[in-house]
């Protein structure tokens, strides 16, 4: 019976919708949407959408490798000095490489047990905040962070419309502060926005 149950478990991961993000007048980077759809008991949320940049994938791979020394992790698409974010072929080649990387990682039960992977895939926490959460230095647990991110992003596809109506912003503030996490909610909702200047172009 376990075997049959195992056969029916699936994890679909898509890396899609590359967007150029400007940090300031000199620095831009591309981030990608990571969409997860799964019925696996390993995941707190069965569907999720987050945006991550290449540098964060590099961080994830290093952390997973240091925790699973005996596993040979798949490679990321190489970081080439000739990468041009205005070249659709370059961007799509990297997007495909990032998706293949995640697909391979998600087939490994040992890697799936690493909380960093789940925070990376199902919250918008920065690498520093993910480290702090995993090592128990935050008021919120890994599951709290994932649930709270999901409740903040329930309106994901119509985000733009929501920001046009000022009223709903006040609603979502009161909603997030009532989730029991207190002030740490703020760090969850804007974990990635304050990332340092990019070295990649």
Note the pLDDT of residue 151.
86
Q: What is the CATH number of the domain that holds 145?
A: 3.30.1520.10
In a domain, 5, yes or no: no
In a domain, 67, yes or no: yes
In a domain, 167, yes or no: no
- Domain total for the chain? 1
In a domain, 158, yes or no: no
Note the pLDDT tens digit of each residue in 67-100. Answer: 888 899 999 998 888 889 999 999 999 999 999 9
Tell me how far apart the alpha carbons of residues 140 and 184 are, in angstroms, rounded to a whole number. Answer: 7
In a domain, 146, yes or no: yes
Tell me how far apart the alpha carbons of residues 97 and 85 are, in angstroms, rounded to a whole number. Answer: 15
- Dihedral of the CA atoms 110, 115, 117, 55 (nearest 10)? -130
DSSP type of residue 97 = H
More confident residue, 124 or 158: 124
Residue 38, classed as helix, strand or coil, is: strand
In a domain, 199, yes or no: no
In a domain, 112, yes or no: yes
In a domain, 189, yes or no: no
- Write out the residue range of the structural domain in which residue 132 sits: 11-153
pTM over 0.85: no
Note the pLDDT tens digit of each residue in 130-180. Answer: 999 999 999 999 999 999 998 887 654 444 444 444 444 444 343 333 334
pLDDT of 193 above 60: no
Buried b / exposed e along 112-122 (16+ C-beta atoms within 10 A)? eebbbbbbbbb
34 contacts 50 by C-beta, under 8 angstroms: yes
Q: Of 135, 144, 137, 134, whose CA–CA distance to 188 is shortest?
A: 144
């Amino acid at each position: 019976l376990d075997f049959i149950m195992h056969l029916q478990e699936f994890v679909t991961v898509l890396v899609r919708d590359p967007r150029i993000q400007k940090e300031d007048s000199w620095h831009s980077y591309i981030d990608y949407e990571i969409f997860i759809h799964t019925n696996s008991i390993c995941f707190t949320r069965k569907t999720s959408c987050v945006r991550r940049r290449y540098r964060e994938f590099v961080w994830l791979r290093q952390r997973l490798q240091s925790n699973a020394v005996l596993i040979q992790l798949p490679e990321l698409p190489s970081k080439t000095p000739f990468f041009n974010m205005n070249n659709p072929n370059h961007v799509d080649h990297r997007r495909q490489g990032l998706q293949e990387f995640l697909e391979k990682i998600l087939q490994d039960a040992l890697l799936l047990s690493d909380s960093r992977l789940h925070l990376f895939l199902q919250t918008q926490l920065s690498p520093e905040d993910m480290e702090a959460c995993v090592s128990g230095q935050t008021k919120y647990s890994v599951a709290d962070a994932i649930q709270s991110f999901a409740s903040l992003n329930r309106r994901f596809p119509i985000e733009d419309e929501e920001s046009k109506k000022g009223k709903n912003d006040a609603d979502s503030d009161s909603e997030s502060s009532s989730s029991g996490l207190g002030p740490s909610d703020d760090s969850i909702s804007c974990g990635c926005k304050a990332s340092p200047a990019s070295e990649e172009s």
